Structure 1
Amino acid sequence: MPRQTRHSTEFSGVYFVKLANENQSFFIRYKRNGKSVEEKAGRSNEGWDAEIACLLRAERMSANDAQAGELQQDSASNAGQLWTFSKIFEKYLRLRPDLKGRENDIYRFKNYLELDFADIAPEEVTHDDVERFRHNLQNKSLKPATVRHVLELLRRLANFAVKKNYCRGLSFKLEMPKVENQKTEELTQFQLQNLLRVLEEDPDLQVSNLVRMALYTGMRRGELFELCWSDIDFHHKTITVRSAKKGQHPTIPLNEMAEKVLAEHAHVEGSSKFVFPGRAGKKRTECKRPLLRIRKNAGLPEDFRLLQGLRHVYATKLVSSGKVDLETLQSLLTQKSPLMTQRYAYLLDQRVEV
């Protein structure tokens, strides 16, 4: 398609293209990072004119100047100051306001990293420093996973500083401690019946049905939060899992129990595209309080992680029933590695013994 002719206006960097019915489409031109950029502003039948387009151009140029100024300021800062972990962490939080796990990172830095690393730069940290720090954390009787999370944050901040060209990074490879995280949570039949009873009585239908879906499909917490009505194919009885890693979107069967929950839930959720939306119909990000309430009312153990635990309950029930093998279970759980599914192999052995 040939490029339409641009006509100049009385405003610098603002042009228009003639359309049908005497309408005009306005464009603006400006420089971004030294390169010329052309952007469509809008049409005259949408209320746009050359003067409004000029204001948009000024806004774009102002934002570009501010960004350039910040880059210059960062460059000057890099040359004239020591980038300590404290300053790196402050910058890290400011540049990533929507960071998942932000509150956890703040807690780990303030309670564990700050005392030992706040006032030194990554390049000043030695391998012995980290080993002493790791040993001190372990002496505090912290869980292995907590120690790993703290060390992972230290490494992440150092890598962030290198990526932003603030300073040099660690002079050695920071190895993460291995964590045996193979806890397979189970519920007795009595506990499961109690949970189902509490779900029937709980006033929060959104969360109650979310918990039911975790039990009936084995979907992960994040996958349930991401689930949209467009992901559910009632005709072919499948669910598309959208939050699987590396952009893959596998499908899992929509079984009879899950289908019943969703059919009834359609009258509860309203107009949001999400099946279990958060506030104002947007994607849900948390449901900790109602989950704690449900767990308490059902009399479940305090260390039972409701959504994660029900994923394991779903898996153990399937394997114990003899209806699926481990390969099929891996597919149903959308697990990339068969090693993750291998934790349920002992159930196959129990079936053979019986």
Structure 2
Amino acid sequence: MATFRKRGNLQWEARIRKRGYPTTCKTFDTKAEAEQWAKGVETEMSKGQFVSTKEAEGYTLGECLDRYKEEYLPRLKNPQSEIYRADRLKKRALGLRIMATIRSKDIADYRREREKEGVSANTIRLELALLSRLFNFAKSDWGMESLTNPVQLAAKPKLPPGRERRLEQGEEEKLFEAIGNDFEFSAIIKIALETAMRRGEILKLTWKDVDLRNKAVFLQDTKNGTCRTVPLSKKAIEVFQGLHRHISGKVFPSCTVPQSLSKKMAKACQRAGLADLRFHDLRHEATSRFFEHTDLDVMEIKAITGHKSLQMLARYTHLRTANLAARLDGAKRGEVRHI
């Protein structure tokens, strides 16, 4: 049964007590609004359709982000990036909002704010993805069954096409010249170009993972969460053979932080005068060379690179079109050189 009481001069509180349900109350500006709300809630209770909004109305987004960091993010293999995003979201005006009051328009407004700030579409996408997971987790695990996920209804930023930066003629030589006597960094670049391994995969390598006798590297910890074996070319084997075996067991002991490697790459490219070249572009270059300079088929290349699907590999195949004329004249794929 619902009861109503006046709170101060301007507000009315509706309170509903019904057997089998928690006491539910809410405050309104007028008694008529309170009575209308109470009538709707009692109807839902009678039909067994009532879902309490108490939890969702009791916490701000910022408070839920803190709880999310404690309970969910430790399950991730590399939670640091998500922790950084969560902390950044907490500082926004949206972080002060009660969870139940956040609508898809608020998410769209947040997206527009970030776009005006010049933030990349992918960064915004990752932030919205975190918010979406948070709302789903709050609904499933924290008793906020009344929540709807506002991120699902909001329009997402349009992502730019994938990067297609390749090494042009003479750029590889310029890069190594700029690296100079940094032997370890030079070796990392060579391994990247020969194997198409990711930045993190290379830096995590230990000598236990390297089997020179069988010409392979075993990767236990990959981005996709699956193990894979990467075959080694003659050039890659020569690079590994030339490295000193450090007491730590790490193949590249001086460079352990991925971000530091990217900064070192940026500085080397600046010295070499190479515009818009990033370390991850070496993976693109290596994969493209597999298509252009070898007779490996798509499934074999996928096994080497560790791409999750053939669709992920599809954007590399167009790079072979420049060689089609030579192929039509009888040249084998491995004999064609396109730089």
Both proteins in one fold, TM over 0.5: yes
CA–CA separation in structure 2 for the residues paired with 1:322 and 1:270: 34
2:79 counterpart of 1:99: yes
1:6-85 aligned within 5 A: 82-85=58-61
Displacement of 1:339 in angstroms is 0.9
Choose from 279, 285, 294 the match for 2:268. Answer: 294
Relative to structure 1, the CA distance from residue 139 to residue 90 in structure 2 (aligned partners, 3 Å threshold; closer, same or farther) is same
Where do 5+ consecutive residues of structure 2 fail to align? Answer: 1-53, 327-339
Q: Deviations over 1:187-232 (max 9, x none)?
A: 1121111112233x143x3333222211121101121122221111
CA–CA separation in structure 1 for the residues paired with 2:114 and 2:55: 34
CA–CA separation in structure 2 for the residues paired with 1:305 and 1:169: 45
CA–CA separation in structure 2 for the residues paired with 1:348 and 1:246: 27
2:303 counterpart of 1:331: yes
CA–CA separation in structure 1 for the residues paired with 2:247 and 2:146: 48
Q: Tell me the SS of whatever aligns to 2:177.
A: helix
Relative to structure 1, the CA distance from residue 110 to residue 212 in structure 2 (aligned partners, 3 Å threshold; closer, same or farther) is farther
Displacement of 1:156 in angstroms is 3.3
- The aligned residue for residue 17 of structure 1 is none
Q: Deviations over 1:288-314 (max 9, x none)?
A: 43222222222221x3212x1111111
- The aligned residue for residue 159 of structure 2 is 179
- The aligned residue for residue 276 of structure 1 is 252
2:214 counterpart of 1:236: yes
Displacement of 1:245 in angstroms is 4.9
1:307-322 aligned within 5 A: 308-322=280-294
The alignment's TM-score, normalised by the length of structure 2, stands at 0.67
1:203-218 aligned within 5 A: 203=182, 205-218=183-196
Displacement of 1:259 in angstroms is 1.0
CA contact (8 A) 2:82 2:130 kept: no
- The aligned residue for residue 134 of structure 2 is 157
Displacement of 1:246 in angstroms is 5.3
2:227 counterpart of 1:249: yes
- The aligned residue for residue 21 of structure 2 is none
Choose from 216, 225, 228 the match for 2:203. Answer: 225
Choose from 64, 70, 95 the match for 1:118. Answer: 95
- The aligned residue for residue 30 of structure 1 is none
Relative to structure 1, the CA distance from residue 270 to residue 106 in structure 2 (aligned partners, 3 Å threshold; closer, same or farther) is same
Relative to structure 1, the CA distance from residue 210 to residue 169 in structure 2 (aligned partners, 3 Å threshold; closer, same or farther) is farther
CA contact (8 A) 2:100 2:147 kept: yes
CA contact (8 A) 1:228 1:273 kept: yes
Where do 5+ consecutive residues of structure 1 fail to align? Answer: 1-77
Relative to structure 1, the CA distance from residue 170 to residue 81 in structure 2 (aligned partners, 3 Å threshold; closer, same or farther) is closer
- The residue type equivalent to 1:276 in the other structure is F
Task: Give RMSD over aligned pairs.
Answer: 3.1
Displacement of 1:164 in angstroms is 5.3
Displacement of 1:186 in angstroms is 0.5
- The residue type equivalent to 2:265 in the other structure is L
Displacement of 1:329 in angstroms is 2.3
Relative to structure 1, the CA distance from residue 169 to residue 148 in structure 2 (aligned partners, 3 Å threshold; closer, same or farther) is farther
- The aligned residue for residue 111 of structure 2 is 134
